[in-house]
Amino acid sequence: MQLAAIEKPAFLLGERVMLLSDDQRTKQRLILGIQLLNRSWFYYVEWIPPALEEATTLDDRLAFVPQKDLVRVLF
pLDDT in tens, 18-74: 988 756 556 788 999 999 998 899 999 987 665 545 656 656 678 899 999 999 988
Domain containing 31 equals 16-72
- Examine residue 8 and state whether it is found in any structural domain, yes or no: no
Number of structural domains (the chain) is 1
pTM to 2 decimal places: 0.74
How far are the Cα atoms of 4, 20, 39 from residue 1, in angstroms, in the given order? Answer: 9, 38, 17
Q: How many CB atoms lie within 10 A of CB 41?
A: 18
- Examine residue 23 and state whether it is found in any structural domain, yes or no: yes
- Distance (Å, whole) CA 3 – CA 28: 36
